[in-house]
Structure 1
Amino acid sequence: MFKEERKIRNNRVCIIRKCLKLALPFFVFNTTILFSQSNTESKIKADSIFKLSNKNLKKGNYDAALKNIEESLAIYKIIDNNRGIGNCFRKIAVVFYYQGNYTKALSNFEESTLYYTKSDHKKGIASSYNNIGAIYYYLGNYPKALDFYRKALELQEKLNNKLQIAATTKNIGSIYLELNDYKSAKNHFQEAKNIYIKSQNSKQLIQVLSGLGEMYLRELNYSQALNHLEEALELAISTKEIRREIEVLFKLGELYSDKKEYYKAFKYYKTSLLKSEQSKNLLYKSNSLVAIGTLESKLGKVLTSLKKCEKGLKIAEKLKVISTQQEACECLYNSYKKGNNVNLALQYFEQMHLLRDSLNLKQTSNKMLNMKFEKEMLLDSIANVEKERKLKLAHDKEVQRQEKQRNILLISGVFILVIAGALWSRLNYTKKAKAILQVEKDRSEHLLHNILPEEVADELKEKGFVKAQDFETASILFTDFKSFTATASKLTPQELVEEINECFKAFDGIIEYYGIEKIKTIGDAYMAAGGLPKPDVNAVKKTILAALEMQEFIKERKKKNYSNDKPAFDMRVGIHVGPIVAGIVGVKKFQYDVWGDTVNTASRMESNGAIEKVNISQNTYEIVKDEKDLQFEYRGKINVKGKGKLSMYFVSVY
């Protein structure tokens, strides 16, 4: 009985097992299909979101782009799509790169190479290597940059990717440029340029034109530099490449700053700063702030210079960009020195030199690595193997020799360290003492140059006296406030001094820009002269332009004061051209002054002028009458005290 039941039960188990065995492959097959379909749908969804991030990135919507990338990254991770994951990390890095956050950009590019390696995506690996090199380049770490560019170039040549080869070749050219090897830089830039022109790739061509522009700028070939940079700017604007536009604007600012055309330099630097802030580009925001601050320091605008350079320094320190930090410290040193703040000037002076030393060490390292890189590119694999073998043999012999001398070298090393420590301590003390003396010397020279023209001051320091000089053609400018006493009576003494000081400070800046020499102020009168102590064929025109700009300032000042219910001055300006004698008077509180009938006539031009006008003499008119950008209004002959009737003209610009 029991045997029969057991037999029936065993038969049932066998039947069930056979059924399961037949059904299992069918079940596994269908599960695989379902899983494959699910992966395909997920990938399509992830790809779609990833493409959306590209659109947001082009529009500058960085937060939205990051959100899209993170969504697609989560899906790629679920379906284990390594290439998609690598793309996401690379795109995240690009977002941070555009925002100037190079630390996060670097870590994400490195992450992308790991996943590209897992998926054997060589093109992606090469792209990430190239981008990592670019980040190290912008951070000033040229050895690291060159190393990654070399890795990228090896992969690109294997893939025969012409455009990527051109991009990396251009990047290597940029490093040669930083190493001041202009010939090699030009060769690399030209090679990349030819590829881009042939492929009609305008966006990449911008970078090459910008690089060539910078190279010509460093060679002081301003016309070629301007041609290339203007062409690059036009392409950047037409292709809406904001980041490239910012770079080119900054380089144009550098060009005009080198040419001492400061107002044009200001224009480009300020536009670069504005666009950097809008696109959150911290590197060029820092560079632009320091550049503007440096120009303002040169023009005597100490307070605004300090604010901009301090702000630029903080950003550069955050980004760890040594070159910008050094320029910011130099700006702060000069500004504090001009403001007579010796302690802070000395502090930034020392910091500036420490950073400069660091840059010099880095440049030496860069040159050594560059030489190594060139050698590796020239030697073939057989020559390299042979060289390594010989080097190894030489190294083994050297190790054996050094083993015998180890004890002697250790003792010598300790002795040298002791001596070096003592020398370093002494050198550091001497360096600080020299820095303090230099600050004081610079301060004294600055004060002397404020009193006398630079050439006259140098002659006085060298000889102890200055010879009087005759000038056949000097343009003398006088200004005077009309109804000064009546206007002054409406102000407190403190307000009066502040108002005159604001006006004369502005006049100082204007004549410095036009290269005119301030002679003196007498009460509310301001006197300046063009064409001395160095003769200048354009001195007369520059004097007129300076006078017109002074009148323009007074008009704007008047509007501002009236809007604040404050009294304001009206001003007359007169100019006359003729011979004068210039020299120093006295031995105490000495002053550079000019004499001659020309001075008296110029004073009469001012007193017989009109408010908001620039009045010039017949002599002055004869010199500038053919200038196309000036226009004249003949006033007739006017009776002048002690001079009789003199012809006069009002002058203005078109």
Structure 2
Amino acid sequence: MNRLSYFLVFCIGLTMQVNSQKQGQALIDSLLIQLNKTKTDTTKVNLLNAISESYSDFNPDEGIRIGIKALKLAERIKWKRGIANAFMEIGINYGFGKADYHKALVYYYKALKIYKESGDLKSVAVILSNVGVAYIGQSNYPRAMAYLLKALKTNEAIGNKKNISDNLANIGLIYLYLSEYSKALEYNNKALKLYDKFGNKQGKNIVLINNGIIYYNQKDYSKALENYLKALDISEELGNINNKALLLNNIGGVYVEKKDLYKALYYYQSALELNRKLNANLGIALTLGNIGGVYYRLTNDGNGQALDKVTAGNKTIALDKAKIYTDSSIVVFKQIGDLSNLIYFYRQLSDIQTAMADYSGALQSYKSYSTLKDSVFNLEKDKKLTQSAMQYEFNKKVALAKAEQEKKDIRQRNIRNIIAGGLTGSLIFLTIVYRQRNKVKRERNRSDNLLLNILPLEVAEELKHTGEAQAKQFNNVTVLFTDFVNFTGISEQMSPTELVGEIHKNFKAFDEIVERHGLEKIKTIGDAYMAVCGLPNERADHAQQVIKAAIEIRNYIEENNGIFQIRIGVNSGSVVAGIVGIKKYAYDIWGDTVNTANRIESNGKPGKINISGNTYELVKDYFKCEYRGKITVKGKGKIDMYFVLNSN
């Protein structure tokens, strides 16, 4: 199966729940007429929010602007419900309209807090569902499933069948991504019945799209195309340009599988044009990458007829276009932090560069692909995580119920003791409460300190408040690697206890040095030590601080250690940083900058600080350096290297 087209569906079917049936510009014009006539502020807020919501389909930037206008008015009149609704609509425009799920979650959580405080269960269910949808967009299926199940349970409790259909459709979407197609069809068909019952064409449109994706993945391309075309008709009827753009993408994918590359290119280019009008970053990135894939396929044997139509039979032009489109796709995916798609399109870029005989570039792209692939969960892990998340939610509810019962038992017991013991009993009770409160506070502080030992402060705070920390791109950082020379040979001459004690002593000193200079320790691997400066907080002097820390580390080893000699390598550039795993959290960084820093360290000399040309350009005015020339590095070609001598 052509996996490229699978990535066409990442944004499709994200059923953002809204309070009105979207009908494009016609609905907006009607709402604007009402807005100009009304004099009541609360009605104005409601109308502005409805207009904001309607724009999410085809002009999310305008939707955000209108949503902010509603928010300011609601805040001025101190109307909490209007404030919460504005937060939700702004979130919908960011999430559904622009695929900026991180910003969407920020606004959703603000809305959720207000809805919970007011006891508005219907709106709570809507936001829970939208949060789940945002996590689907981030490929975080365990958290998505947890929130969608909460939304479903809340809607069932209040008998809100219209929104139950959306919950079912989104749960079906998760199963689709996990390739559990029978489960996906089961939930989709349940949702489809409810959508037909309530005349919800938008919901029906979503399910038809997702069923088309299922049939596509099952290689039933005729059924896939049938569902897509039905959905396309509904999208045009509703004026839903967003869904239309995504459908054009998917139809292009079907024609790729049918080997009709000329038609595939037509649909992809039509989709790209619409996505650019929408300023939908995810859609733009996907279609750019897919167009690049078509141009690459045109150069394969058997596609000569299509190649003649598109490039007059010129394979060189086709490969050049394939590289340009794929490169552009990768740039956008980096901006939005979509690691899953970066993995795929880095591999595609490597294949294209190989076909162009650019073997150095191909190797570099393949390494980027390999590094990112090792850093994210594969689908099998996602399945296990989803199951674990469901079990976690169940266990948590049981634990909460048990804890609540224990609290009741304690209260009853304390009440009896107070009655029996009078004032003395009251004093004892207050002492117990005071001690317990202090104990809880100490445990909380201990927990926070442990978290800060393994995560940067900003990342730890994000994790505590949102339950996760987003992977982010940092464009200006400097990475440091250290390594002990002949560590294996030396370690064989020491007892395990002596060896661990010696490493601990050195790394403890390194920890203190990097902290003084504002570096973030990333990890140790055996005798290697890795740190970075410039994240999670950006700073202009990141390279200077790393060199200062490197000099201090080298001097420490020379002055306090008669056992080991050390090599130090430094490189500057961009990295992706984020949390790996769900147990024993590890904050890590990835990218070519990291790999190159490691290579530079291994190409250094004992007692020397070896830096790249990138780092040299940032520190040459502050440190005297000795140019070593262009050094050949395995997998990287020739790299300019310098030894740092001392500070100017």
Q: 1:368 aligns with which of 371, 377, 384?
A: 384
Q: 1:73 aligns with which of 71, 74, 84?
A: 71
- For 1:161, give the aligned amino acid: N
Looking at structure 2, the residues matched to 338 and 227 of structure 1 have their Cα atoms a distance apart, in angstroms, of 36
The Cα of 1:102 is off from its aligned counterpart by: 2.6
- For 2:352, give the aligned amino acid: S
Larger Rg: 1
Partner of 2:279: 280
- For 2:350, give the aligned amino acid: Y
| Residue pair 1:134, 1:145 contacting (<8 A) in 2 also | yes
Q: 2:94 aligns with which of 93, 96, 107?
A: 96
Please say if 1:307 is aligned against 2:324.
yes
The Cα of 1:198 is off from its aligned counterpart by: 1.8
| Residue pair 2:162, 2:194 contacting (<8 A) in 1 also | yes
What is the Cα-based RMSD across aligned positions, in Å?
A: 3.8
Partner of 1:573: none
Looking at structure 2, the residues matched to 412 and 246 of structure 1 have their Cα atoms a distance apart, in angstroms, of 64
| Residue pair 1:140, 1:322 contacting (<8 A) in 2 also | no
Partner of 1:176: 175
Relative to structure 1, the CA distance from residue 122 to residue 362 in structure 2 (aligned partners, 3 Å threshold; closer, same or farther) is farther
The Cα of 1:379 is off from its aligned counterpart by: 10
Looking at structure 2, the residues matched to 48 and 328 of structure 1 have their Cα atoms a distance apart, in angstroms, of 42
Deviations 1:175-194 (A, max 9, x none): 11111111211111111111
Looking at structure 2, the residues matched to 168 and 286 of structure 1 have their Cα atoms a distance apart, in angstroms, of 28
Please say if 1:354 is aligned against 2:353.
no
The Cα of 1:413 is off from its aligned counterpart by: 13
| Residue pair 1:83, 1:121 contacting (<8 A) in 2 also | no
The Cα of 1:216 is off from its aligned counterpart by: 1.3
Q: Give the % identical residues.
A: 24
Looking at structure 2, the residues matched to 331 and 230 of structure 1 have their Cα atoms a distance apart, in angstroms, of 29
The Cα of 1:168 is off from its aligned counterpart by: 1.2
| Residue pair 1:72, 1:88 contacting (<8 A) in 2 also | yes
- For 1:89, give the aligned amino acid: F
| Residue pair 1:277, 1:285 contacting (<8 A) in 2 also | yes
Deviations 1:258-287 (A, max 9, x none): 232212221221111111111111101101
The Cα of 1:356 is off from its aligned counterpart by: 2.5
**TM-score, normalised via structure 1 length:** 0.51
| Residue pair 1:290, 1:327 contacting (<8 A) in 2 also | no
Deviations 1:395-421 (A, max 9, x none): xxxxxxxxxxxxxxx989979x99984
The equivalences for 1:39-118 within 5 A come to 41-54=40-53, 60-97=58-95, 98-118=97-117
Q: Which moved more, 1:218-227 or 1:338-347?
A: 218-227
Relative to structure 1, the CA distance from residue 138 to residue 257 in structure 2 (aligned partners, 3 Å threshold; closer, same or farther) is same
Q: 1:319 aligns with which of 320, 329, 336?
A: 336
SS at match of 2:375: helix
- For 1:212, give the aligned amino acid: N
Looking at structure 2, the residues matched to 149 and 156 of structure 1 have their Cα atoms a distance apart, in angstroms, of 10
| Residue pair 2:288, 2:329 contacting (<8 A) in 1 also | yes
Q: Which runs of 4+ in 1 moved over 6 A?
A: 376-386, 410-415, 417-420, 436-439
| Residue pair 1:100, 1:280 contacting (<8 A) in 2 also | no
| Residue pair 1:166, 1:191 contacting (<8 A) in 2 also | yes
Partner of 1:455: none
Looking at structure 2, the residues matched to 422 and 295 of structure 1 have their Cα atoms a distance apart, in angstroms, of 46
Looking at structure 1, the residues matched to 395 and 187 of structure 2 have their Cα atoms a distance apart, in angstroms, of 19
Looking at structure 1, the residues matched to 361 and 234 of structure 2 have their Cα atoms a distance apart, in angstroms, of 44
**TM-score, normalised via structure 2 length:** 0.52
The Cα of 1:91 is off from its aligned counterpart by: 1.0
| Residue pair 1:285, 1:312 contacting (<8 A) in 2 also | yes
The Cα of 1:173 is off from its aligned counterpart by: 1.1
Relative to structure 1, the CA distance from residue 296 to residue 204 in structure 2 (aligned partners, 3 Å threshold; closer, same or farther) is same
| Residue pair 1:286, 1:324 contacting (<8 A) in 2 also | no
- For 1:322, give the aligned amino acid: L
- For 2:387, give the aligned amino acid: M
| Residue pair 2:208, 2:228 contacting (<8 A) in 1 also | yes
The equivalences for 1:384-463 within 5 A come to 421=526
| Residue pair 2:347, 2:365 contacting (<8 A) in 1 also | yes
Looking at structure 1, the residues matched to 203 and 54 of structure 2 have their Cα atoms a distance apart, in angstroms, of 19
Partner of 2:488: none
Looking at structure 2, the residues matched to 303 and 412 of structure 1 have their Cα atoms a distance apart, in angstroms, of 58
SS at match of 2:374: helix
Q: Which runs of 5+ in 1 are unaligned?
A: 1-39, 390-409, 440-654
Q: Which runs of 5+ in 2 are unaligned?
A: 1-38, 300-317, 406-495, 505-523, 529-594, 600-632, 637-648
- For 1:137, give the aligned amino acid: I
The Cα of 1:53 is off from its aligned counterpart by: 3.9
Partner of 1:152: 151
Relative to structure 1, the CA distance from residue 378 to residue 234 in structure 2 (aligned partners, 3 Å threshold; closer, same or farther) is farther
The Cα of 1:327 is off from its aligned counterpart by: 2.0
| Residue pair 1:276, 1:282 contacting (<8 A) in 2 also | yes
